[in-house]
Structure 1
Amino acid sequence: MKYQTELKDDVLFIRLEGDLVAGPDTQRLMAVAEEQVENKVLLCAVDLSNVRFMDSSGMGVLVSLLTKFRNRGGELVLIKPSDHIRKLLIVTKLNAIFTIAENDNFAAQFLKESIY
């Protein structure tokens, strides 16, 4: 899995690509998220549009990220998961805890409204 991060208007955008599975990249990603939370970044949008596959550990990463931001009074949304990832979220009932946005603008708007 590859990832890129960008801080734009107080929103941390995490763009994932490839397979979301356990490994060194997910550990680094969690460390980056922790660092941003420590720096008072409370809003996060995870772009899943280029994620091909996700296993249970990948789902755990998403839940951990959500928990990390919500525990500090923040929020996290998922951006444009593929049909395969959407089905996984539904089957695991994680669609009930995650908000899904279709693009960056909607994600940023939802996030900003969620804490104000």
Structure 2
Amino acid sequence: MKYQTEFKNDVLFIRMQDDLIAGPVTQQMMTEVDEQVDNNVMLCAIDLSSIRFMDSSGMGVLVSLLTKFRNRGGELVLIKPSDHIRKLLIVTKLNAIFTIAENDSFATQFLKESIY
């Protein structure tokens, strides 16, 4: 997996690419997110539009990220998962706990409204 982070409009954007599976890069990303949460970042949007494959460990990463933000009174949203990833979220019933946005502006709007 590859990822990039960007902080824009009080929202941490994480843009993931390739396959969302556990590994050293995933652990590095989790550490970076922990630092952001420790610095009172409350809102996160994860762009999944470039994720081709996700296994159970990848689903665990998403749930773990969601939990980190919600435990601090924040929120997380997924941006534009592919049809394959959407089907996985439905089959695992994770679609019931994640909010899905179609682009950055909808993600930002939802996140801002969720804490005010």
Give the TM-score normalised by structure 1: 1.00
Aligned residues: 116
- Is 1:26 the equivalent of 2:22? no
1:53, CA displacement in angstroms? Answer: 0.1
- Is 1:86 the equivalent of 2:86? yes
1:67, CA displacement in angstroms? Answer: 0.1
Structure 1 residue matching 2:81: 3-state secondary structure: coil
Corresponding residue of 2:71: 71
Per-residue CA deviations over 1:10-40 (Å, capped at 9, x if unaligned) read 1000000000001001101100110000000
Corresponding residue of 2:108: 108
- Is 1:56 the equivalent of 2:56? yes
> CA–CA distance in 2 between the matches of 1:33 and 1:107?
18
**Matched letter for residue 52 of structure 2:** R
Per-residue CA deviations over 1:20-69 (Å, capped at 9, x if unaligned) read 00100110110011000000000000000000000000000000000000
> CA–CA distance in 2 between the matches of 1:34 and 1:92?
26
Unpaired segments of 5 or more residues in structure 1?
A: none
> CA–CA distance in 2 between the matches of 1:17 and 1:98?
19
1:9, CA displacement in angstroms? Answer: 1.1
Q: Which runs of 4+ in 1 moved over 6 A?
A: none
Unpaired segments of 5 or more residues in structure 2?
A: none
Structure 2 residue matching 1:51: 3-state secondary structure: strand
Corresponding residue of 2:9: 9
